[in-house]
A = this chain, B = another copy of it.
Amino acid sequence: MPKKTGTKKTPPKKTARPRNAFYAQSGGVTAVINASAAGVIEACRRAGSRIGKVYAGRNGIVGALTEDLIDTSKESAAAIRALRHTPSGAFGSARFKLKKFEDNPAQYQRLIEVFRAHDIGYFFYNGGGDSADTCLKVSQLADNLGYPIQAIHVPKTVDNDLPITDCCPGFGSVAKYVAVSIREAGFDVASMAKTSTKVFIMEVMGRHAGWIAAAGGLAAEKEGDSPHIILFPEITFDEDKFCARVKECVEKYGYCAIVVSEGVKTADGKFLSDAGLRDAFGHAQLGGVAPVIAQLVKSKLNYKYHWAVADYLQRAARHIASKVDVEQAYAVGKAAVELALKGHNSVMPTIVRTSSSPYKWKIGMAPLDKVANQEKMLPRDYITEDGFHITAKGRRYLSPLIRGEDYPPYKDGLPQYVTLKNAPLKKKLDTPFVL
């Protein structure tokens, strides 16, 4: 509230000290989740007297439960700005889901105890579907336990599986990484195919839905372009059909480039990655569907192959982040604060697509109870009828999300990512909490 001047007789109104905000990162990190953090923190700083300090949870919600809070006011404006171009979770993330209130009320009582000790009135939770559920539960603390708090979920997930929002910050950058990488590898294999490698297999993330694999399809803009085949979790793997298609591609184009989702399943519903490889002691090999496909290509078709598993490289690849994605990640962080200032609780800012061509988007809002525990699956009509590629409709949806480059600064050839001081906030409770 601005201080009134020029009316000496009225003493400046003593306002209540503004309540502090809590921010935490949850689940698997992305190339742009820190851009959302920058959006939240910078918006809170701009809010002036309406919001106090921003305390981040060290390692996500775990930091709240253990009262391990980070005082972000100790970070310089430059450091917070640098979060925009820094991948991963600067405060630490966590794979930790709160229990249902009925099953573990102690967890919620502890949260309130910590929040009350640090006068936290705003809860910004940056994560995917599970986190939306946690955020929903926290948003109900006022009703359930009489602690007033506004909980806003900030969407983040490479999996692109949150409902209502047109896309999820984090997805566009992994999508760009995958499309760029399979284009580049395709050029490589095309050069080698005459006398050497004929089949290249690139494994990408997406255990439940084929969004990321689908993004690889963007690299193929005309007949014969890499990738020639995409294997989706949505399409049951058919060995014969797959081998026939690989053969067809090698005969027609000289080589075959394949994007395979880690979530591809066989007809019996098992992950293909679990279907065969064992170590010398007979233990199932841990992870990796690409080598399984490679083995198949070798044994059934006898083509020379190479395979890659991008794993964390794909979701950490800030160096090739999508500019659209970075902007949206920042925007949802900023919007979360604005929604809180408008008095909202239990909501999530969303990306609303208003036009695909030219691509236009704006920020919307969704109630958390409509977001939590819902998965947005890849529509069947984004996948071609034969199950091996994306349709024009899928392309229309995906293409805008990878647009634009947003390079980090470099020094001596290496990207300059920020590591925050992450100064611990002094604890006020003398009760430890066992997770």
Q: CB within 8 Å of B: which residues of A?
A: 25, 28-29, 31, 59-60, 62, 86-90, 92-96, 176, 179-181, 183-185, 187-197, 200, 202, 218-219, 221, 275-280, 283, 285-288, 290-291, 294-295, 298-299, 305-313, 315-320, 322, 324, 399, 402-405, 407, 410, 412-415, 417
Q: Are B280 and A322 in contact (CB under 8 A)?
A: no
Option from B87, B185, B195, B405 in Cβ contact (under 8 Å) with A316 = B185
Option from B279, B311, B319 in Cβ contact (under 8 Å) with A308 = B311
Q: Are B312 and A185 in contact (CB under 8 A)?
A: yes
**Copies of the chain in the assembly:** 2
* Complex alpha-carbon distance, A307 and B176, angstroms: 21
Q: Are B181 and A313 in contact (CB under 8 A)?
A: yes
Q: Are B291 and A287 in contact (CB under 8 A)?
A: yes
Q: Are A92 and B194 in contact (CB under 8 A)?
A: yes
11 A-B contacts, Cβ less than 8 Å apart?
A: A176-B413, A180-B415, A183-B417, A184-B318, A185-B313, A278-B278, A278-B279, A286-B291, A288-B288, A319-B320, A402-B413
Q: Are A414 and B219 in contact (CB under 8 A)?
A: yes
Give the residues in chain B near A312, CB-CB below 8 Å: 184-185, 188-189, 197, 200, 306, 308
Given A95-B196, A276-B279, A277-B279, check contact A413 B179 (CB 8 Å): yes
User: A225: nearest residue on chain B (CB-CB)?
Assistant: B419
User: A318: nearest residue on chain B (CB-CB)?
Assistant: B184
Q: Are A308 and B298 in contact (CB under 8 A)?
A: no
Q: Are A62 and B194 in contact (CB under 8 A)?
A: yes
Give the residues in chain B near A221, CB-CB below 8 Å: 414
Given A95-B196, A188-B316, check contact A180 B322 (CB 8 Å): no
Option from B60, B285, B298 in Cβ contact (under 8 Å) with A291 = B285
